[in-house]
Structure 1
Amino acid sequence: MSVALFTLGGTISMAGRTSEGVARLTGADLAAAVPGLAELPVPLEVQDVEAVPSANLTLATMLDVVDAASKAVSNGATGVVVTQGSDTLEETAFLVDQVWPHPQPFVLTGAMRNPTLAGPDGPANLLAATRVACSPAARDLGALVVFNDQIHAARWVRKTHSTSTATFASPNVGPIGQLVEGQVRILARPSRQDGVPGRAEPAELDAARVALYTVTLDDDGLLLEGLAETHQGLVVAGYGVGHVPAALAPVFGALAERMPVVLTSRTGGGSVLRNTYSSVGSESDLLSRGLIDGGFLDPYKARVLLRLLLATGEGRDEITAAFAQHH
């Protein structure tokens, strides 16, 4: 038995600047710097995959990591830990949650302070993540994000601050668990959802272009022109409970006749509504024009899900059903 550790770079691995750029720690370096890690009941099996800022990660890279993690589990790993940059971690974690088929925990973590700074949080986060990965209590929870001794479900977690070590939060529900005196305490057990069927291959992912459009005050909609010729799907980040300017409602309706268009809220918390408001551009008006209700999903996760569904060849009914799980 072991915990499989996959490293993808990010702040947790930054070891200062050199004449050639940024020096990065390997997984072995990271593990060696964590007090108490060697005393855990299972060893780490380290695979260095990437050494990049998380802005450079792709869906295809993460799916390859999932495949490698699945093989590790098949070979006896009791859980998986991935270290990466925090910038895109909420999106990669949600991606993993949609495709991870195993009961073993898949835990993502990183750091906000690199090892050259006073009080780096990477070692504590890696230790906590490894404890979660080898804990029987964390099984059957899908992908998890562990930061600051808190355990978050991938479907709800958000990065909420640009620099704070407490940046990760789950605005709608809070963390589902905590680490207390080194012990994993699961406080809530959300049921696992149906994931995305099939395997999205790189060519299909490249072809499944999904735009994200954030509605803003006095929006003229010019960026939407020609979208149907370049993209196969659209996520709308609307005002509040899912509203847009009245002038844009028919534009989104016309796009929904040609591609899946998912309605979400740009607020970062709460759900879009269905039938509270009825003016042109309201949530009920947009849904009547064929937009798909994104429920509690934020725009970034909705884009990941829609792209995966398109890449695996799902039709409109299947896409609608997939998003209905998040209502």
Structure 2
Amino acid sequence: MPDNARRVAVISLGGTIAMTAQTAGGATPTLSADDLVAAVPGLADTGIDVQVHDFRRLPGASLSFPDLLELAETIETLTVDGVVVTQGTDTIEETAYLLDLVTAGAMPIVVTGAMRNASMAGADGPANVLAAIRTAASTEAQGMGCVVVFGEEIHAARWVRKTHATSPTAFTSYPGPIGYVAEDRVRILARPSTAPTIAPQGATASARTAVFTVGIGEDGTLLHVLGDHVDGLVVAAFGAGHVPMACVDALTDLAKRMPVILATRTGSGPVLRQTYGFPGSESDLLARGLISGSTLDPVKARILLHLLLMTSADKEQILQVFSTLS
């Protein structure tokens, strides 16, 4: 490698991208970071100096907050130009947003994975890794925080969502990708606003949070039960922040005891503030002490809430952080 080669660290957490089919049936994580990088056609031609790190070999569904906070601390110690994290797609959106919140600096951090494991026809892992490495090595991606690269599209961590269970184009975002990779070039179309920053070394307290998705006919009984077992709650409400009238008393009680974030289950768009005024409307719930999740989807709102609780933030501090979201 030339002395001025761009340096990228590839950190493997496991997941489908690292899985192969087993004779006993089913795919499990077996490939190392070296294996993943070795399977990428054309990587040597990029001139990028790739360093590999085996961090975990877990399905995405089994990653934990301690795993990801340790990952963030590891990333901060690396002397490279960019970082690629490979993992299971089940929780890519959570990992990406957490890293966006707890890492600082301009170095690109890119999360990617695969929808088809290495034993399947049309495995998408090598192409995704190559595009992710190109993005992590590019000067164009500096200062954008953490992004997800999938199918040669670049998505901001705050907006990206897994919206299909099996499709190779499972990852989308609203209002859309912020860039893409084409003809070996990283092209950035828009830059996301700066996310709040939470010091990972301060996230040491234990916390238990949950997302409660409101459905038609809810009467508040399950909210009362859940409230006895969590330190904070995200309510995935109808539309722009609405719940059944029968849930209002339960949410009022919970908001007196803990931070309760009001988010929309729709997947895009904001929680309103003063458009509707009926019991269970967004203005009614906010007046009762719930905290607006703004445009954060429920999954991302839980990540932010959980990290804040891990830093022992009180309700007023949590309100202040959420109020900065656009």
TM normalised by structure 2 equals 0.95
Are 1:297 and 2:296 counterparts?
yes
Deviation at 1:193, TM superposition (A): 2.3
Instruction: Provide the rounded CA distance (Å) in 1 between the counterparts of 2:29 and 2:141.
Output: 34
1:284 corresponding residue in structure 2: 283
Instruction: Provide the rounded CA distance (Å) in 1 between the counterparts of 2:196 and 2:10.
Output: 26
1:31 corresponding residue in structure 2: 37
2:201 corresponding residue in structure 1: 199
1:162 paired residue among 165, 187, 192: 165
SS at 2:164 equivalent = coil
Instruction: Provide the rounded CA distance (Å) in 2 between the counterparts of 1:271 and 1:41.
Output: 43
Aligned residue runs from structure 1 range 1-327, under 5 A: 2-19=7-24, 22=28, 24-72=30-78, 76-171=79-174, 173-197=175-199, 199-202=201-204, 204=205, 207-327=206-326
Deviation at 1:135, TM superposition (A): 0.2
Query: Given residue 128 of structure 1, which amino acid in structure 2 is its aligned partner?
Result: A
1:200–1:308 CA contact under 8 A, matched in 2:
no
Alignment: residue pair count: 320
Instruction: Provide the rounded CA distance (Å) in 1 between the counterparts of 2:127 and 2:200.
Output: 36
> Which runs of 5 or more residues in structure 2 are unaligned?
1-5
TM normalised by structure 1 equals 0.94
SS at 2:89 equivalent = coil
Instruction: Provide the rounded CA distance (Å) in 2 between the counterparts of 1:178 and 1:325.
Output: 28
SS at 1:277 equivalent = coil
Question: Runs (4+) of structure 1 moved beyond 4 Å?
Answer: none
Q: Deviations over 1:210-265 (max 9, x none)?
A: 12111001112222224443211110000011100011112101110110000000
Instruction: Provide the rounded CA distance (Å) in 1 between the counterparts of 2:226 and 2:152.
Output: 43
Q: Deviations over 1:109-155 (max 9, x none)?
A: 00001111111110000000000000000000000000000000000
Instruction: Provide the rounded CA distance (Å) in 2 between the counterparts of 1:239 and 1:20.
Output: 40
> Which runs of 5 or more residues in structure 1 are unaligned?
none
1:108–1:129 CA contact under 8 A, matched in 2:
yes
Instruction: Provide the rounded CA distance (Å) in 1 between the counterparts of 2:148 and 2:118.
Output: 20
Instruction: Provide the rounded CA distance (Å) in 1 between the counterparts of 2:233 and 2:29.
Output: 38
Q: Deviations over 1:292-325 (max 9, x none)?
A: 0001000011011001001102122221121123
Change in 2 beyond 3 A, CA 1:322/1:23: closer
Sequence identity percentage: 50
Instruction: Provide the rounded CA distance (Å) in 2 between the counterparts of 1:257 and 1:198.
Output: 28
1:16–1:23 CA contact under 8 A, matched in 2:
no
Change in 2 beyond 3 A, CA 1:7/1:291: same
1:59–1:92 CA contact under 8 A, matched in 2:
no
Instruction: Provide the rounded CA distance (Å) in 2 between the counterparts of 1:166 and 1:143.
Output: 19
Deviation at 1:208, TM superposition (A): 1.0
Instruction: Provide the rounded CA distance (Å) in 1 between the counterparts of 2:229 and 2:195.
Output: 31
Instruction: Provide the rounded CA distance (Å) in 2 between the counterparts of 1:48 and 1:107.
Output: 16
2:29–2:58 CA contact under 8 A, matched in 1:
no
Deviation at 1:20, TM superposition (A): 9.4
2:203–2:307 CA contact under 8 A, matched in 1:
no
1:295–1:323 CA contact under 8 A, matched in 2:
yes
